[in-house]
Structure 1
C-alpha cells in the first residue's frame, strides 16, 4: 500500500511540474492583425522601392550583365513555404506545419542582411556619392520602419551573424563595386517578391484555420 501511495504521489508531483513548466513557458511571439496589415504595406513599399532601384540608371549604369547574387543565410524561401497540399506539384511546399514565427524571423534576417550590405556599400568608393546615397537612403528608411514595426525581437534586434555575412570587401574600382551591388540588389528584388507572397499568406490567416 505504501508503494502505491508513493507511486501516486510521484505521478501527481510529475504532473504538477509539467503543468508549472507549461504555464511558465514563454508564449510564441507573433504579430497582431493590425501589425500584419501594416507590415504587409511596408513590404509592398519596399518591393516598389527595390524595383525602382534595380531599374535605376544610377546604380546599374553601363552594366550589361543580368547576373543575380543571393548570399543571405536566411532560409526565408523554405521557412515561408505553405504546407503541402494534395494534388500540388510545388517543389517548395513543406511537409511540416507552417510557422508564422519562423517565417517572420527569417524574413527579418534577410532584411538585416541587406541593410548591412547597403550601409557597407555607401561607405565604399562610389562613382557618384551624392546620387547613389540619395538612391539608397530611402531603402534604409523603409528597412528601419520594418525593423521597428515588424520584428519579433525586442527593439527590432537581430543577431550579428547577418551583419557578418554581409561584410562586403569593396575595392577602389567604382565600376566593379556598382557591378557587384547591382547583382546583389537584383537578388534583393527576387527575395522581396518572395517576402511579399509570404506576407500575403500570413495576412490571409489560412495557416490559422
Structure 2
C-alpha cells in the first residue's frame, strides 16, 4: 500500500524473490520432476503423497511467516498462523507473532513488496492445491 510503504507496490516495480526455492515447498512437495504424459500426470500417479504435499504447504507458510515477522504486520502474521494451525492441528499451538524491527530503509520496503507479491502468488498455488486435495478426499 502506498500509505504503508511510501510507494506504489506493484508487480511491475519489483523482482520477485522465492524465499523457499532451496527448501521443501508446496511446488516441490506436491509435484514431481518427471511430468510424464496426460492432463495432470503428476497428480494422477498412484505415488502422489498427500501428507508430503501438506507438509510442503506448511513449510511454505512457516518460511513466509519467519520472513514477514521482521516487518511487524500482526494482521498478516495472525492470518498465516491460522492457516498453519488448520494444517497442523495436532502440533499444539502455532507460533505467536513477535515484534519486528519495522521498515526503516527504502531497500527493506522494496524487499517487503517483493516478498508480499511472491507470497500472494504462492497462496494462489496453495489454494489450488488445497482444492485439489479436498476433491481427492471427497471422491474416496
Q: TM-score, normalised by structure 2?
A: 0.72
Q: Give, in angstroms, the shift of residue 78 of structure 1.
A: 2.8
Separation in 1 of the partners of 2:37 and 2:136?
A: 19
Aligned to 1:144: 81
Q: Which runs of 5+ in 2 are unaligned?
A: 96-100
Aligned to 1:67: 15
Q: Tell me whether 1:93 sits opposite 2:50 in the alignment.
A: no
The alpha-carbon distance between structure 1 residues 107 and 152, as it changes in their structure 2 partners (threshold 3 A), is farther
Aligned to 2:98: none
The root-mean-square deviation of aligned C-alpha atoms, in Å, is 3.4
Q: Give, in angstroms, the shift of residue 67 of structure 1.
A: 1.2
Aligned to 1:110: 60
How many equivalent pairs are there? 128
Aligned to 2:122: 191
On the 8 A contact 1:60/1:182 being kept in 2, the answer is no
Separation in 1 of the partners of 2:131 and 2:87?
A: 14
Which structure would you say has the larger Rg? Answer: 1
1:131-152 alpha-carbon deviations (Å, 9 max, x no partner): xxxxx32111111212222216
Q: Which residue of the other structure, out of 71, 85, 106, is the alignment partner of 1:175? A: 106
The alpha-carbon distance between structure 1 residues 84 and 205, as it changes in their structure 2 partners (threshold 3 A), is farther
Separation in 1 of the partners of 2:30 and 2:136?
A: 13
SS in 2 for 1:74: coil
The alpha-carbon distance between structure 1 residues 179 and 69, as it changes in their structure 2 partners (threshold 3 A), is same
1:8-50 alpha-carbon deviations (Å, 9 max, x no partner): xxxxxxxxxxxxxxxxxxxxxxxxxxxxxxxxxxxxxxxxxxx
Higher relative contact order (CA 8 A, sep 6+): 1
Q: Give, in angstroms, the shift of residue 207 of structure 1.
A: 9.1
Separation in 2 of the partners of 1:97 and 1:208?
A: 17
Separation in 2 of the partners of 1:208 and 1:81?
A: 20
Separation in 1 of the partners of 2:42 and 2:125?
A: 13
1:51-99 alpha-carbon deviations (Å, 9 max, x no partner): xxxxx222372556231110112331132238967533x6x83656211
